[in-house]
A = this chain, B = another copy of it.
Amino acid sequence: MTTVQLNPVGWMSQLSQLEVSLLQQSTESELYDTFRNCCLAVLNSGVEEDNYHNLFAPYGDFDVRLIRRERGVKMELINPPEVAFVDGHLIKGVHEHLFAVLRDMLYMGSKHSEAFKNLIDAPTNLTTHVVFDMLRHADAILQDQPINMVVCWGGHSIRSEEYKYTKLVGYQLGLRGFNICTGCGPGAMKGPMKGATIGHAKQRNKGGRYLGISEPSIIAAEPPNAIVNELIIMPDIEKRLEAFVRIAHGIVIFPGGAGTAEELLYLLGLLMDDRNKDQQIPLILTGPENSKGYFEAIDQFIGDTLGPEAQAKYTIVVGNAAKVATLLSEQKANVEAYRRDNGDSINFNWTLHISEDFQTPFVPSHENMRTLDLHLDQPKAALAATLRKCFSGIVAGNVKAEGIKEIHDHGPFELSGDAALMQKMDVLLTSFVEQGRMKLPGSKYEPCYRVSL
């Protein structure tokens, strides 16, 4: 049995004895198993595999323990994967990521428990506080930063040409001083960071930030890539999405599958909220020349379901990485002006309204999926919210451990509603499958849903 003891880094190196007690309580909770899995995923950083089973299979005897000391806590790894070590030393970035997992999953979990709510008199938005507090606690909200954070969304499984294009966009963004935030993982979540690294190097920018925001149920399927230098694990997909949109000064969407569709629908749902009509969040859909068809299909679907008002919220750029970056550069002044005029922070978009419907975690059970209100005849924002949930469920069924178990036990989700809407859904989903966007290559994709036409 190999064991490695790790000293705490960052915030976790300064805990009170009471906090250590709370941490130890946590390790007896259900959460602990998820914690172990997240650690294992982080230790596999850089390995390209989206099947958590394949990823974890070789490490059945892996475990992680917390060791209490008078002055704090150490982490002990038992039989960790060798890939994380260089000549017997754990790679520093992985070391930091492990304590980021501990910080976010166990420590922040205790901190934001129910008891905290009692402090509040006024009807303040607790979810947004939690999102802010977790980002702040991870030192992700920096005081002195200008408008420079671009959130990049897109598939973990994309074609080689698309991947190269995401690197080019990242390079052009890096040259212009932008930092990159993605959801961790390979593909469109790695390419922009890799490209930005070179752009930053050419501009002698040593402070490049490569922010990865994940959540416990996806991190195993999408372990943080090698470039991520700030890792944050939000409690659930809804808080992860909120973190993305509140920290973004601009958003770029590359080709992707169900997860990317979820992200786009989430954002469009927010932007169609009348209270957000003046928000300045530049949104660009982009890919290489031969992804043109992909974006036409998406655009068509949005037009058919949410209408031209929604289409007006984004710009599609095909095969022109420099243009993507230039467009975002040109919008900097607007973004900043809006923040200043509204007394808002440069680094966290407080004024963006996110209704409860978008904040409440959606549990993708068969029951919940079946009863989604999939009809065109409803307010656009509500429809966007429902569609978002639908795609969220499909992501779960595709790559999240719990979702896969559900599908295995009870068969595919059933999706039903308006014939017209279901028809469009089917076309879009089928195209994702055909283009290999649902899973990494190497296995045949078995849909986790059935569209009742």
A interface residue numbers (CB < 8 A to B): 13-14, 16-19, 21-22, 25, 69-72, 86-87, 91-94, 96, 110, 113, 115-116, 118-122, 124-126, 128-129, 132-133, 136, 141, 143, 172, 175-176, 197-198, 201-206, 226-227, 229, 326, 329, 342-345, 348, 350-351
- 27 CB < 8 A contacts A-B: A13-B143, A14-B136, A16-B133, A17-B124, A17-B350, A18-B120, A18-B125, A18-B126, A21-B121, A21-B124, A70-B342, A70-B345, A70-B350, A70-B351, A71-B344, A71-B345, A71-B348, A86-B172, A87-B176, A87-B326, A92-B202, A92-B205, A96-B204, A115-B115, A115-B119, A197-B197, A197-B198
Task: Tell me how many chains of this kind the complex includes.
Answer: 4
Nearest CB of chain B from residue A386's CB, rounded to whole Å: 28
Nearest CB of chain B from residue A273's CB, rounded to whole Å: 17
Q: Is the CB of A21 within 8 A of B122?
A: yes
Q: How far is the CA of A96 from the CA of B205 in the complex (A)?
A: 13
Q: How far is the CA of A13 from the CA of B136 in the complex (A)?
A: 11
Question: Quick one: which of A91, A202, A342 has the most chain B CB within 10 A?
Answer: A202
Of B25, B348, B351, which one neighbours A121 at CB under 8 angstroms? B25
Residue of chain B at shortest CB distance from A84? B202
With a CB–CB cut-off of 8 A, which chain B residues contact A345? Answer: 70-72
Q: How far is the CA of A205 from the CA of B92 in the complex (A)?
A: 9
Q: Is the CB of A19 within 8 A of B70?
A: no
Nearest CB of chain B from residue A214's CB, rounded to whole Å: 18
With a CB–CB cut-off of 8 A, which chain B residues contact A329? Answer: 87
Closest 9 CB pairs of A and B: A71-B345, A18-B129, A70-B343, A16-B132, A18-B124, A115-B118, A16-B129, A69-B343, A93-B202
Nearest CB of chain B from residue A90's CB, rounded to whole Å: 10
With a CB–CB cut-off of 8 A, which chain B residues contact A348? Answer: 71
With a CB–CB cut-off of 8 A, which chain B residues contact A86? Answer: 172, 175-176
Question: Quick one: which of A14, A121, A348 has the most chain B CB within 10 A?
Answer: A14
Q: How far is the CA of A345 from the CA of B125 in the complex (A)?
A: 38
With a CB–CB cut-off of 8 A, which chain B residues contact A350? Answer: 17, 70-71
With a CB–CB cut-off of 8 A, which chain B residues contact A92? Answer: 202-205
Contact status of A17 and B129, CB under 8 A, knowing A70-B345, A91-B175: yes
With a CB–CB cut-off of 8 A, which chain B residues contact A14? Answer: 136, 141, 143
Q: How far is the CA of A120 from the CA of B17 in the complex (A)?
A: 11
Q: Is the CB of B226 within 8 A of A198?
A: yes
Q: How far is the CA of A416 from the CA of B20 in the complex (A)?
A: 45
Q: How far is the CA of A72 from the CA of B198 in the complex (A)?
A: 32
